[in-house]
Amino acid sequence: MSRMIALLDATLACPVGGVSRGGVLIADDTIAATGLIDVPEGAETIDCRGLVLAPAIVDLGVFAIDVPAFHAGGIVRVGLMPDQSPVLDDPGVVQRAALIGRPGLWIHPIAAATRALAGKDLAEMAINRDAGARAVGTGASWIADSGVMRKVLAYANDLGLTVITHAEDGGITAGAVATAGETATRMGLSSAPSVAETLAVARDLMLAEETGASLHLRTVTTAAGFDLVRAAKRRGVRVTCGITPAHLLLSDIAMSDFRTFAHISPPLRHEGDRRAALVALADGTIDVLCSAHDPHGPEEKRLPFGDSSAGMAGAETLLALGLGLVRDEHITLDRLFALLSANPARVLGVDTGTLTVGAPADLLICDPRAPWQIMGEDMHAKAGNTPFDGLPVEGKVRRLFKGGTAVTLPG
């Protein structure tokens, strides 16, 4: 007999069905009914008291496995970047990566597009796909050789895999830690112009169009980059793009006190680009909101800005910052969970991220009005290097389900 759980009296936020009042019935590991449901005899019932019930988050493009942080942020599936030790370019390594988080976390490896992420020889994509890779990627770097990149896209297309790229021309950004402009000049930081992103986006879009491949630009952050993506989508190019809350809510001014928590990759951009990002979010150009979770401790962050490691701990703050975008009327609640759940799942080819009948019962219940303050030292992550340290926010996960099974949230 099926194990039944009825989640009742919730504000349902579904990327497909919109926002409504009702419930969800879980049968074993699957959503059996949604909306106005009949509770079967013997089913466990949970009163959601009007809180938001939505698909659990699929975080696309994390650099480290950090289970307590993921669960605190409502994340039950992650797309793991290939920049691991060892690099995810071998089927044995890919297979191990896919298994280590279960049952509370599903890890979907993004296999390296080239061996050792060196940008030269293609990795064994077909074997890595069979070992569990859900996409292939260039990692935190760019493939400079356009011939190699074309082969990557063509081969991945034959295998039905999306190519996930880092959109910065490494020949321009080499050694840079900031975006060229007044802030970088005042701080005396090594910098690169934002055209580095534009060049990378333009090249990869042209190759994706020529090969017919599916391309995901992991982080687009500039007005010119968004214009290129919009135009490509109009032409029918199979492209999606993502962004982090940091690039939506902060500009390079956040680096002004040399605070290394604001040293991220890509670097924070000018205010004009930040405003363009909000427009791109509202008009649908941006498809995915991701954390780029990359925790670094004091030994890597308590250094001069130029010597510190780029990266931020973003998993625990992703949902709350996204809910802030809803309150500020940049996006709707159902659109938020398209960005956090349905769209990243689609990029990875995983059938989850909605509240539709038959979908995996990966669910979160959150209180969108629960106030708290982001404090790096109190985070559940391996390190609390967040550029939002000290910011008051609203939105806390109250319950989390992975495949119909309740996940214990960190205390």
Quickly list DSSP for 90-135.
Answer: SHHHHHHHHHTTTTT-EEEEEEESBGGG-SSSBP-HHHHHHTT--E
Strand ranges, E, within 205-329: 215-217, 239-243, 288-289
Angle between helices 223-234 and 195-211 (to 10 degrees): 10
**Closest among 382, 389, 337 to 70, alpha carbons compared:** 382
329-386: pLDDT as tens digits: 999 999 999 999 999 999 999 999 999 999 999 999 999 999 999 999 999 999 999 9
In this structure, what DSSP letter does residue 80 have?
E
The arithmetic mean of pLDDT across residues 218-231, rounded, is 98
- Measured torsion, CA atoms of residues 224, 235, 153, 94, in degrees rounded to the nearest 10: 80
Predicted pLDDT at 30: 97
Tokens of 185: 């000049």
Residue pair 14/22 in contact (Cβ under 8 Å)? The answer is no
**Closest among 92, 160, 151 to 126, alpha carbons compared:** 160
122-160: pLDDT as tens digits: 999 999 999 999 999 999 999 999 999 999 999 999 999
Residue pair 218/200 in contact (Cβ under 8 Å)? The answer is no
Q: Is the pLDDT confidence value at 224 over 90?
A: yes
Residue pair 289/245 in contact (Cβ under 8 Å)? The answer is yes
How much is the mean pLDDT over the chain?
Answer: 97
267-289: pLDDT as tens digits: 999 999 999 999 999 999 999 99
Domains of the chain (ranges; CATH) run 56-348 (3.20.20.140)
Q: Is the pLDDT confidence value at 324 over 70?
A: yes
**Closest among 206, 208, 176 to 194, alpha carbons compared:** 176
Sheet holding 215-217, edge to edge: 57-62, 75-80, 106-112, 135-137, 163-165, 215-217, 239-243, 288-289
92-103: pLDDT as tens digits: 999 999 999 888
Q: Is the pLDDT confidence value at 2 over 80?
A: no
Those residues whose C-beta lies under 8 Å from the C-beta of residue 140, and which sit 6 or more positions away, are 63, 81, 83, 166, 265
Q: Is the pLDDT confidence value at 177 over 60?
A: yes
Give the chain's count of helices (H) and strands (E): 14, 18
Q: What percentage of residues in the chain have a pLDDT greater than 70?
A: 100
Helix, strand or coil for residue 299? helix
How far out from the chain centre does Cα 223 lie? 20
The arithmetic mean of pLDDT across residues 2-9, rounded, is 93
Q: What is the CA radius of gyration of the chain?
A: 21
pTM: 0.96
55-74: pLDDT as tens digits: 999 999 999 999 999 999 99
Q: Looking at the chain, how many residues does it have?
A: 411
Residue pair 149/137 in contact (Cβ under 8 Å)? The answer is no
Inter-residue long-range contacts of 91-97, CB under 8 Å, 24+ positions, other chains counted: 91/124, 91/127, 91/128, 91/130, 91/131, 92/131, 94/128, 94/131, 94/132, 94/133, 95/131, 95/132, 97/132
Q: Is the pLDDT confidence value at 1 over 70?
A: no
Which CA distances in Å does 123 have to 90, 138, 200, 327?
8, 11, 21, 44
Predicted pLDDT at 314: 97
